[in-house]
Amino acid sequence: MLGLGVAGVAVGASVQQKLSSALAPAGPIGDVLPAAGGFRYYTVTGSVKKRTPATWRMDVNGLVNAPRTFTMADLARLPQTVLDKDFQCVTGWRVPDVRWVGVALPDLLQAVGVSPAAKAVRFSSFDGTYTESLTLDQARRRDVLVATQMEGGPVSHDHGGPVRLYVAPMYGYKSLKWLGGIELTDKVRPGYWEHRGYDVDAWVGRSNGRDDAPT
Ligand SMILES: Nc1nc2c(c(=O)[nH]1)N[C@H]1C(S)=C(S)[C@@H](COP(=O)(O)O)O[C@H]1N2
Ligand SMILES: [Mo]
């Protein structure tokens, strides 16, 4: 027991905080507490059926030249982008300096060819409910990732793996978990939280979001 305790101290406060806050419930109790400096696990759908790297697929379609279904191996063959950036939920908790690895969205879009009529991108989750959107200009930023790694390992199931979106300049609700589909559309179709009052443009640091946010 003593050995475990010493190891716990050696791991350091930030990792300990990340772990303990990750274990806290994602409901209202977690949210009225001061931000502990670590991730919380969010899901609007309850438990989500796991997909492994072998079974994961992502359809990319809509206003593209070559609609295509991607596997993890397909993603691995595209250029890989590394970002060290903060993750911030609109409710106040923030995790500084997280390492993300994946395919920058513009590189993925280039692989399918965006048709001139496309103006926006719609993302859907294989949880069956959650959706998100970006304008095409936002989607062409190099700090928007189709992420396959997080904090030095695969994106865990609880964090939305095997593949999630990471939209670095915007609040966490844009970073859709359990990514299963990307559709190019002629206009922005507001996503899950945007139907419930959040701003479609979720830039961190500009006034947006809601005061009475439920999660
Ligand atoms: N599919 C899905 N994606 C989601 C959510 C969700 O409930 N379901 N919550 C969003 C919100 S509000 C935040 S802050 C982040 C939280 O990511 P985490 O659970 O990995 O900490 O995921 C975002 N993506
Ligand atoms: Mo959030």
Q: Which amino acid is at 205?
A: G
**Residue 143 above 80 pLDDT?**
yes
Report pLDDT for 205.
Answer: 82
Ranking 3-12, 60-69, 73-82, 115-124 by mean pLDDT, the lowest is 3-12
Task: Look at the block and give the residue holding tokens 């189709």.
Answer: 146
**Residue 16 above 70 pLDDT?**
no
CA Rg, the chain, in Å? Answer: 18
**Residue 134 above 50 pLDDT?**
yes
Question: What average pLDDT score do residues 153-180 get?
Answer: 98
- pLDDT digit string, tens, across residues 24-83: 334 333 344 443 448 999 999 999 999 999 999 999 999 999 999 999 999 999 999 999
Domain ranges of the chain: 48-196
**Cis bond upstream, residue 79 (ω within 30):** no
Is the distance from the beta carbon of residue 164 to the nearest atom of ligand 1 less than 6 Å? no
| 8: confidence class by pLDDT, cuts 50, 70, 90 | very low
Task: Look at the block and give the residue holding tokens 């990307």.
Answer: 182
Nearest CA to ligand 1 atom 1: 177
Is the distance from the beta carbon of residue 173 to the nearest atom of ligand 1 less than 6 Å? yes
Measured from the alpha carbon of residue 90, the closest ligand is: 2
Nearest CA to ligand 1 atom 2: 177
- pLDDT digit string, tens, across residues 197-212: 999 999 998 755 544 4
In sequence order, what are the beta bridge partners of 164? 147
Which tops the pLDDT comparison, 9 or 164? 164
What number of other Cβ atoms are within 10 A of residue 185's Cβ? 16
Is the distance from the beta carbon of residue 127 to the nearest atom of ligand 1 less than 6 Å? yes
Is the distance from the beta carbon of residue 122 to the nearest atom of ligand 1 less than 6 Å? no
By most ligand atoms within 8 Å of CB, the mutation choice from 21, 163, 165, 173 for ligand 1 is: 173
Nearest CA to ligand 1 atom 16: 42
Q: Do β-strands 153-154 and 179-185 pair in parallel, antiparallel, or remain unpaired?
A: unpaired
Which atom of ligand 1 lies nearest, measured to the CA of 48? 1
Which atom of ligand 1 lies nearest, measured to the CA of 39? 21
Specify the fold of 48-196.
Sulfite Oxidase; Chain A, domain 2 (3.90.420)
Report pLDDT for 207.
Answer: 55
Is the distance from the beta carbon of residue 132 to the nearest atom of ligand 1 less than 6 Å? no
Q: Do β-strands 94-104 and 81-88 pair in parallel, antiparallel, or remain unpaired?
A: antiparallel
Is the distance from the beta carbon of residue 126 to the nearest atom of ligand 1 less than 6 Å? no
Is the distance from the beta carbon of residue 18 to the nearest atom of ligand 1 less than 6 Å? no
Nearest one of 27, 14, 160 to 94, comparing CA atoms: 14
Measured from the alpha carbon of residue 41, the closest ligand is: 1
Length of the chain: 215
